[in-house]
Every structure is written in structure tokens, then in C-alpha cells.
Amino acid sequence: DLSDIPPAPRGVPQVEVKFDIDANGIINVSARDKATGKQQSVVIKASSGLSKDEIDRMVKDAEAHAEEDRRFHELISARNHADTMIHATRKSMAQIGDKIEGGEKERIESAIRDLEEAMKGEDKDRIESRTKALGEASAKMAERLYAQSGAQGGAGETGAGEAHHETGGGGGAKDDVVDAEFEEVKDDKK
């Protein structure tokens, strides 16, 4: 139970998880939230020990299923990437709002529907191709969003720079900069 680690919005939390297995088969699992530094750990002990034959059988089973596990991992990674792409695209569409052209919006929504349908299946290549198609369909929207945020940010930086130059300061505009006048006083009585 990771009760000390607070919930956070998707994509924000960074949790470092460590698994340590000692010679006796005791598993130590620890999770640490990188943002808050809070840590939780759990110790898992076997209720009964495994015989050497059982361990060998489990190792052979793991080796036999390694390729299947690798393919499953790739499928899950493709689904996670697709899910992230859908989430980011919808978030961008909400930020831009009405500025999306009708045809462009329909192409993006169609690509999202196609990708969601592909994610229901087990075909990793289909998921990846639909993810790429969504990326291409939403590229212009992303450029527009970037240009829009760049124009807003650029205007603010220029204004801050001009105000800074009017006060006679140098070195460019920075946050938390305070202009001050000073006078050097020399002490000749040393």
C-alpha cells in the first residue's frame, strides 16, 4: 500500500521503484516519490520455501516464455504510447478550442477513433501505424499551439527586456531581478 505517496495528474508523478530479492527468496519492494521524497516499502516473504526442482522448473518456464513476454511488453508499450498520444492531442484540442479548422478537427477526431479501435486488438504494428497517423493529423494543430504560446511568451519577454533597458540595467531580463543604485564608499583609514 503506497498511502504516503500522494495522487498526481497523469504524466506528472515520478516514482522510483526498486525490487530486491535476497538469497532466501525475500522480496523487498520500495517506492520513492521523486517530487516529495516520501518513501514506502513492503517486504514479501514466502510462506514456504521452494525446492531446487521447483526453482529450476520456474526458471525454464520463464526462459520458454521469454519471447512471448517480450512481444507482450512491446504491445503494452505501443498501447501506452498510443494512449498518451490520444490524451495529449485531446488536451491540445481543448486548449486551442475554436481555432481548429472544421476539416482538420474531423481528421484528428477520425484518427483518434481509428487508434482507439486499433488499441482494442492485439496487433502492435496496427497500433503503431494508427499512432503515427494521429501524430501526422495533429501536427499542424501542434504547430499552431506552439506558435500561439510562442507569440504570447515572446511578447512578454520583449516587453520585459524593454522595461529593463529603460532603467539602465544590463544583462537581459530575468525573473526575480531587482534594479538598485549603489555608491561605493572607500575607507582610507586602513
pLDDT digits (tens, 9 = 90+) for 117-132: 999 999 999 999 999 9
Q: What is the mean pLDDT of residues 24-40?
A: 82
Instruction: Establish if 104 belongs to a structural domain.
Output: yes
- Residue 163 pLDDT: 38
Q: Angle at Cα 11 formed by Cα 7 and Cα 13, nearest 5°?
A: 45
State yes or no: pLDDT of 109 exceeds 80.
yes
Same domain, 36 and 75: no
Handedness of CA 173, 177, 180, 182 (dihedral sign): negative
In this structure, what DSSP letter does residue 99 have?
G
Q: At 180, phi and psi to the nearest 5?
A: -145, 150
- Residue 158 pLDDT: 40
Which CA distances in Å does 119 have to 63, 77, 161?
28, 11, 49
Q: What is the CATH number of the domain that holds 107?
A: 1.20.1270.10
- Residue 84 pLDDT: 93
Give residue for cell 532466501. 24
Lowest mean pLDDT among 7-11, 80-84, 111-115, 133-137: 7-11
User: Which of 144, 164, 181 is at the close of a domain?
Assistant: 144
119, 75 Cβ separation under 8 angstroms: no
Same domain, 75 and 28: no
- Residue 35 pLDDT: 78
Instruction: Establish if 54 belongs to a structural domain.
Output: no
Q: What are 81's three cell numbers?
A: 504510447
- Residue 34 pLDDT: 80
Supply the range of the domain harboring residue 115: 66-144
Instruction: Establish if 98 belongs to a structural domain.
Output: yes
Same domain, 95 and 122: yes
In this structure, what DSSP letter does residue 98 have?
G
State yes or no: pLDDT of 20 exceeds 60.
yes
State yes or no: pLDDT of 25 exceeds 70.
yes
Mean pLDDT for all residues in the chain: 78
Which helix (H) or strand (E) segment is 54 a member of? helix 52-64
The C-alpha atoms of residue 19 and residue 34 are separated, in whole angstroms, by 17
pLDDT digits (tens, 9 = 90+) for 134-172: 999 888 787 877 777 666 654 444 443 333 334 444 444
- Residue 152 pLDDT: 62
Q: How confident is the model at residue 52 (pLDDT cuts 50, 70, 90)?
A: confident
Same domain, 39 and 10: yes
Domain count of the chain? 2
Long-range contact set of residues 180-188: C-beta below 8 Å, sequence gap at least 24: none
Q: What is the mean pLDDT of residues 104-121?
A: 92
| Residue 124 identity (one-letter amino acid) | K
The C-alpha atoms of residue 144 and residue 99 are separated, in whole angstroms, by 9
Instruction: Establish if 129 belongs to a structural domain.
Output: yes
Residues forming beta bridges with residue 20, ordered by sequence position: 28
139, 109 Cβ separation under 8 angstroms: no
Same domain, 73 and 107: yes
Instruction: Establish if 181 belongs to a structural domain.
Output: no
The C-alpha atoms of residue 50 and residue 32 are separated, in whole angstroms, by 30
